[in-house]
Chains A and B, each alone.
Chain A
Amino acid sequence: MSNYSAFSIFRHALSGNKNWSRAWRDPDPKPSYDVLIVGGGGHGLATAYYLAKEHDIRNVAVIEKGWLGGGNTGRNTTIVRSNYMMPGNTMFYERSMKLWENLSQDLNFNVMLSQRGQYNLCHSPGQMDAARRRGNVMRANGIDAELFDRDEVRRRLPYLDYSDNCRFPVHGAIFQSRAGTARHDAVAWGYARAADKQGVDIIQQCEVVGYLWEDGKIIGVETTKGPIRAGKVGLAVAGHTGHLASKAGLRLPIETHALQAFVSEPLKPLIDTVISFGAAHFYISQSDKGGLVMGGDLEGYNSYAQLGGLPIVEHALGSAKALIPSLSRLRLLRQWAGVMDMSMDGSPIIAKTPVEGLYLNGGWCYGGFKATPASGWCFAWTIAKDEPHEDNCEFTLNRFEHGYQIDEKGMGPQPNAH
């Protein structure tokens, strides 16, 4: 497989781009693997990649019911940040950020991480205090964070609504300069290509319909392409975790909800950063192609349908105009929805399950994309060593029993509130 570089582009261009090879193979499943990862999204592919790279476990397959990267990896708002306050979250997301920062080189695939910074706007003194606490935790843990007052935000983001007409005036913002966006599809493709290079089999169009059991232990999966045995089975199927775990007899602290995203027509550069509105659940950035990428609130009810309803469209676009009034005449090009695992405390699960042979990576709520590298890294560690790494040691399944809810928003066990 050819290495990607400016030189390779030049060389291939001269030969009419006729000689590029496949980015990854399309193998038939082998009868058995050491580790089988269910779910060919960013998390599953990253897990396979790090199993091979970090733990030298190469007899690995990733099976995907559709096409790789077709779940939430391909339908998010591409934001990457590490501004988490709760112990258990903070260092995990910072590990992710650090992996992101060298991911393009690591994978030899440009994932276009653009560290254009992210502003979390505050609209009350109380929000400023909460932001200060978050920023302080970040700084104390070696993560960059700055707290800006209204004037500084106004200097940096002059296009927000500072008029008397504004319903929720900006009081200030917390800013992480290393945050930004990455090209979402490239993450799946880059990990797929790199994992494939390490010998991982990526098997698309292969749906898990059940598990293979032996003595109460899971020893593989039954798929639409036949049974595949595995020493260990890892689930990385965010959005469908509840459904697939139930086939293994697990009831999880997870509900599945749909989240919409939106993109406008492409424009010349207008918004050079990522902005999160503090008066409603809304965030916006601009893609390299020029489209304004926007995310809103959950539909509010359990859903496995990748359908988005009008109330949330109104909510998100209303927030867009409230935040930046001049967006009014710009046009929405597409809306779509992804289904996500909303956990009861808003934080993920990366852990062994009570079922021997089954490992779980899920419950990502809104935050799965940014977590992709660390999620794969920590899940690979957990599978390889049969124990969590320090960075995912709080992402257990039984934390609700002992009471350490990693409730970053303080909303309690109400998934649609996180």
Chain B
Amino acid sequence: MLRIKCPICGLRDETEFTYGADAIVRRPDMDETNPQDWLNYVFYRDDPKGPHKEYWHHVQGCRQWLVLERNTLSHEIGACRLAREVPK
């Protein structure tokens, strides 16, 4: 069981959250028309074995989207920040 330290609500069970997606990929700007940029955003992943940054949504709490640093091999958890406060 993962326990995630929501910056707003504190340390909570993973069951209060839903996993979003890879937070390394960056959504292209709205007016980007190059399909490749959108393909890279929507479909392609680094899928790292080790440190990872990912979105989690505290749906049963403050409903904030978070960026969590987590190791995909050891499940060790690092920093957790509000997505809105993470620079692009």
Contact = CB atoms under 8 A, between A and B. Distances in A.
Indicate if A touches B (C-beta under 8 A).
yes
Interface of A: 240, 242-243, 246, 251-256, 300-305, 307, 309-311, 344, 400-401, 413-414, 416
A171 B25 CA distance: 42
Interface stretch (B47-55, B59-67, B80-88): B47-55
A47 B56 CA distance: 39
B1 A311 contact: yes
A194 to B, nearest CB: 32
B30 interface: no
Nearest to B56: A301
B34 interface: no
A400 B35 CA distance: 11
B46 A302 contact: no
Contacts of B14: 300-301, 309, 311
Given A253-B43, A309-B2, 7 more contacts: A242-B45, A242-B48, A256-B47, A256-B72, A301-B2, A302-B72, A305-B72
9 contacts: A242-B46, A246-B46, A252-B45, A256-B49, A300-B14, A301-B19, A301-B70, A305-B73, A311-B13
A294 to B, nearest CB: 19
Contacts of B42: 344, 400, 413
A302 B52 contact: yes
Contacts, number: 73
Interface of B: 1-2, 13-15, 18-19, 21-22, 35, 39-40, 42-49, 52, 54, 56, 70, 72-75
A243 B46 CA distance: 8
B49 A414 contact: no
B57 to A, nearest CB: 12
B45 A304 contact: no
Nearest to A399: B43
Contact of B18 (A253, A254, A300, A303): A300
Contacts of B44: 251-253
B80 to A, nearest CB: 13
Contacts of A416: 19
A357 B19 CA distance: 36
B47 A246 contact: yes
B1 A309 contact: yes
Max count, chain B CB within 10 A of own CB: residue among A254, A302, A414:
A302
Contacts of B72: 256, 302-305
Contacts of B21: 414
A251 B1 contact: no
Contacts of A311: 1, 13-15
